Structure 1
Amino acid sequence: MLLPCTAFTLISLVLQRMSGRLSGQRSRTSLSLAGLMACLAALLVSTGVIYLYVDSLQGAAEQAGYPQTSCRPGHFKISNMKSCAAWLQCAQVRADVRPLKLIGQGAVKKVYLAEWSGQKVALCRLASQDYLEDFLHGLGMLQALQDTAVVQLVGLCAEDHSFVTEYHPHGSLLNLEGVFAQEQHQFHDTWQIRLRLALDYVSILHFLHNSPAGRRVMCDSNSLEKTLSQFLLTSDFRLVVNDLDALPKVDVGGGLLVKCGHQELTGDFVAPEQLWPFGNKPFSDDLMPGYDEKTDIWKVPDVTRFIMGGVRGGDLVHFHLFQVHNECKREEPKLRPSALDVLRVYRSVYSIMVRDALKSRDAL
């Protein structure tokens, strides 16, 4: 992409003029004061283009699979830490992690805003002994699935039924509209950032469906609200999955299918295969057929529709995603695309739309 004048050229020339370095050297440069002013005007017009260009480069790097900085297994690095540290163990969690206030509670655990070594962290504690198995499952998944797609584990104390994770002040994806409504974040409320969040969501599904701990299904997703609550919105407007308490393993080839809970599921949000298939016959968990990870794919269009909201340019995003979303909603699970198939379409749409936006603004 060629701009009439790059930001770096302009800044360099302005600084040189201020320091007097261009004094007596007018014969060596063809850039007049009028040219400099024209360059400034071009830069102002091109600000949006530069933003899109940098964002597209970042997206291209991610699509190419470039490695991201991360700590080795059993270590973490949060906030302004300069180096990785080993996960905190029981003695450190008890002595050094200070709970400040309760910020969330579900059936399985209570979550506290806490402080450790001057850092804000999230302290999670078992809420009820009835859900100890779910709590320990979630903790085991956090340990096994540490990745850029998953919230960072900071420390754990299984014997106290508690663990510590990185704290994200924006909270869950449920808060997206409220965050964008804040004056300091309205600038970020663009189709580019919203589509990138949707891309993150599908990327996380792909990771879970191909994880180091086997193919995992997001079972805490029986409603849109419950699904959104499983993801945290980071300060730089990315997504990480946070709640892994209900993440059973599926192995279709080995005959291992899953059932999300022992109660009858209803509503349009859950996939058709998750609904009781025997009409008026009373529900029986023993008779309910199992299913696989394609239940997650069924829900993709609804989650993406929420993420895109009513942002300007969102209609064009939905237009480009129309076909793949129709495929996600196929009644027969085997006919739905994989998370990787959907991810490839999302990446392609993101790149195409950024490219077209650059071309349109370049023509100004």
Structure 2
Amino acid sequence: MLLHNGEAHFLWRCRVWLQVWLQVEGTMSSMSHGFPAVGLCLAALLLSNALLYLYLESLYPTDELLLSSHVGCEPRHFKMATMKNCIPWLQCSQINAEVRKLKLIGQGAVKKVHLAEWRGQKVALSQLSSLDYLEDFLHGVSMLQALQGPHVVQLVGFCLDNHTQVTEYHPLGSLLNLDSILAQEQHQQHNTWQMRLRLAMDYVSILHYLHGGPAGRRVMCDSSSLEKTLTQFLLTSDFRLVVNDLDALPEVDPSRGLLVKCGHRELTGDFVAPEQLWPFRTKGKPFADNLMPGYDERTDIWKIPDVTWFLMGRVPGGDVVHFHLFQIHEKCKKEDPKLRPSALDVLNVYRSVYGSMVRDNAGFRDML
């Protein structure tokens, strides 16, 4: 039987822990006459650590395993939580006849978003706000089609005739609402460093997916401020993240000389990466779009520490997380983009910090 890489890795881990356990068990049996309590405690500690390690790997496997084991529908199909079967994306006739607007829940330069209903299911119906942004709208639809997967909001259907798209509805809304949501009584139990760090891991996982997914290397250009960046993500009911707004996701490929510029206006502020700033500002030269140098996806890396700082909030244990992430975040803020880590490098550090802190907490509780 052929196994995926992630499955083979998991089984290899199991075999290693089993071998260690058998060796310790043999040692403990020989020691049990003189030190029965010590032997039992050591064996229990080893087994608990092994199970915890495997549990963490099951929660946060490699991206390859996460994507390959994702139980979804065949291409151009969807299935929401309460549906039994996958069905094809809705087309114009179905959207016009079966999708009913309920209320306006959001509006931007490109789209107006309505809460809507389709066959008893709540969905988000997005419509083009102005023909001036038709190109952006069409780009967003094409990216939603190309990037469907666990990191991206689920596409339900679209109609290019009247410039509409339908996606899965997430009632908790955008990531910008995180603190107000966690302040609500029914969600306060989720306001922990563990949950907040998992959201940060989701965020970096999404960047990694966009930087090397099926649509090539993509840059999140709708990220000129922290608030604007947070609105690009939705918080699911089980407190995970999916990227939602893909209207400004240009491709970059330095090997082909393909770089990007996020918009045609001057960007300012500390949130955007240094290479996104007008380089001749100090010389008093007015901004000129045709003279602005291009850049690549490492602009997204620069912004990771700021987004994670927001995500961690003010919870017990958050200061320890920041301490452990200080070094990788310092690398994210390198002025030279070539010296910054990749999203995968950052994600690996986040996973390591999460795992070590969970193990430390578990060990501390065992000592009480």
State the TM bucket, normalised to the shorter chain.
0.7 to 0.9
1:296 equivalenced with 2:300 (yes/no)? yes
1:363 to 348, 357, 367: 367
How many Å separate the matches in 1 of 2:239 and 2:80?
A: 16
RMSD: 1.5
8 Å Cα contact 1:79-1:119 kept in structure 2: no
Structure number having the greater helix percentage:
2
1:106/1:275 CA distance change after superposition, 3 Å:
same
8 Å Cα contact 1:96-1:116 kept in structure 2: yes
Shift of 1:358: 1.0
How many residues of Structure 1 are paired with residues of Structure 2 in the alignment? 314
2:173 to 168, 171, 174: 171
1:70 to 62, 69, 72: 72
How many Å separate the matches in 2 of 1:261 and 1:61?
A: 36
Shift of 1:65: 2.0
Structure 2 partner of 1:260: 262
Show CA shifts across 1:119-145 (max 9, x none): 100000000111000000001100111
Q: What residue identity is the alignment partner of 1:288?
A: M
What's the secondary structure of 1:325's corresponding residue?
helix
Structure 2 partner of 1:320: 324
Shift of 1:60: 3.9
Percent identity, aligned pairs only, is 71
| Uncovered stretches (5+) of structure 1, i.e. residues with no partner | 1-48
How many Å separate the matches in 2 of 1:60 and 1:203?
A: 10
Structure 1 residues 230-245: aligned runs within 5 Å: 230-245=232-247
- Higher RCO structure (Cα 8 Å, ≥6 apart): 1
Shift of 1:57: 5.5
Q: What residue identity is the alignment partner of 1:343?
A: L
What's the secondary structure of 1:185's corresponding residue?
helix
Shift of 1:79: 2.2
Give the TM-score taking structure 2 as reference length: 0.83
How many Å separate the matches in 1 of 2:79 and 2:62?
A: 20
Shift of 1:362: 1.7
Shift of 1:290: 0.2
How many Å separate the matches in 2 of 1:239 and 1:103?
A: 19
Structure 1 partner of 2:46: none
1:307 equivalenced with 2:311 (yes/no)? yes
8 Å Cα contact 1:149-1:241 kept in structure 2: yes
Q: What residue identity is the alignment partner of 2:315?
A: V
8 Å Cα contact 1:221-1:227 kept in structure 2: yes
Structure 1 residues 37-116: aligned runs within 5 Å: 56=56, 58-61=58-61, 65-66=65-66, 67-116=69-118
1:274/1:81 CA distance change after superposition, 3 Å:
same
What's the secondary structure of 1:107's corresponding residue?
coil
Structure 2 partner of 1:335: 339
1:92/1:303 CA distance change after superposition, 3 Å:
same
Structure 2 partner of 1:207: 209
1:139/1:64 CA distance change after superposition, 3 Å:
closer
